[in-house]
Structure 1
Amino acid sequence: MDILPAIDLKDGKAVRLSKGLMDSAKIYSDEPWQVAKKFEELGSKWLHIVDLNGAFAGEPANLEQIKKIRENCNLKIELGGGIRDEETIKMYIELGVDRLILGSIAVKDPQFVKDMAAKYPIAVGIDAMDGMVAVEGWAEVSSMKATDLAKEFANAGVEAIICTDISKDGMLCGVNVEFTESIALASGIDTIASGGVKDITDVLECKDNGNIAGMIVGKAFYEGRLDLKEAFDTVGHI
């Protein structure tokens, strides 16, 4: 199981939100690339980046910081937020991003995602509130079940699904393991849990589940509740 430390970018800074609400942003660093370097030093293999402004704007909005992160660390980077067309995907690939996350567009145009997955390393971001898919930076909740969206991408060449229970995101209240597992079983795709990680018990629970391919760690690290080195050791990462 992979552990992917996260950097959420808002106005060029590394922040964390609570339940995806932009006005809840807590700033953790003015130099996100330094945070990425710290993750690398702790032994991480992956970095999960979300361009929060981009998610709302529908286009890249923290490009300079993303470039700086790429230039200063050797981590594999997966990136989401505001990626709506092939031009943006190509731009990020050329920049050295290893995997792109398509979220809102996956609901509106699943065929586009399948077409892109045939050409590029693509992950699908499925963000849900009470089991229903949320889009546009979580500002809207659709009428589609998250598991139905997951089924849509079975055998489509998608590398991974990142599934977030919005009600738990940034709340340090524990991962929704059942929801993550339902997405994994519906899709047959490596599924990464996001939202709610509070401490090492969540790491153990996800690892022991057997159907969860990875987990994203954010606020638990920033608030000092999870020792990343211990987490990596727990999953046999190092």
Structure 2
Amino acid sequence: MITLVAACGALMAAAVPAQAAPKDPVSALKATLVAGHGVRFTDTVTWSDGTDEEGARDSKGVFQFGKKGIAAFDISMISGDERERVISIGKTGYYSGGDVARVLPDGKTWYKGKGGAIPDSWAQFLNPAEPKTLAALIKNGKSKGNSITGSITVKELKAVSAWIAAAGIDKQHEGIKISYTLTLASTGLVSGARSSYTVTEDGDSNMVTVDSRYTGWGSKVSIKAPNPSTVTTETR
């Protein structure tokens, strides 16, 4: 009987799986950065004045990777009745819908401009598809389970993030502090990013919260420029 109990104990011990070592998020990200592949995401933006909260905008998009990080992105945005879309390929940006649509010449639906940047201040400032940005967010935050929580200023982000550096944010806004929570999948890749920050204008303070979800890390992606016949560099 003693032998049987000992044997059962050994079997039970063997059946308990060893605790897997946590995956390094930056290494996991770098492994997915293959040209022609990318990641899809959705953003939900809410606005609050401290009393009332309302949905400001919903977005969905995709990042395409190149040899040196993000090579292109395509984002569609819905805000009330407004529909907007921005495509960025290299250092060229294409914009349609919203205010842009109201100033385009007849027969044109896209405006072509220089530079690729986030569409506006209601986009997700944090870009977990950038290794340097992800490393900074991990360094500034505290890990607990599968989440990382912390805060970072716009100035600190500009120093590591091409996504933010290209946005042309004024120095007067560099002191804005962004609070964030990253959620990691079992692979170590970011599956969610929630950020919030306060903007003060004319003495009124409002909080903007952006909740993002990321799927399909490493899947094949192909972002193309709009049909040339629909594109213009002029406005009315």
TM-score w.r.t. structure 1 length? 0.30
Q: For the pair shown, which has the larger CA radius of gyration, 1 or 2? A: 2
TM-score w.r.t. structure 2 length? 0.30
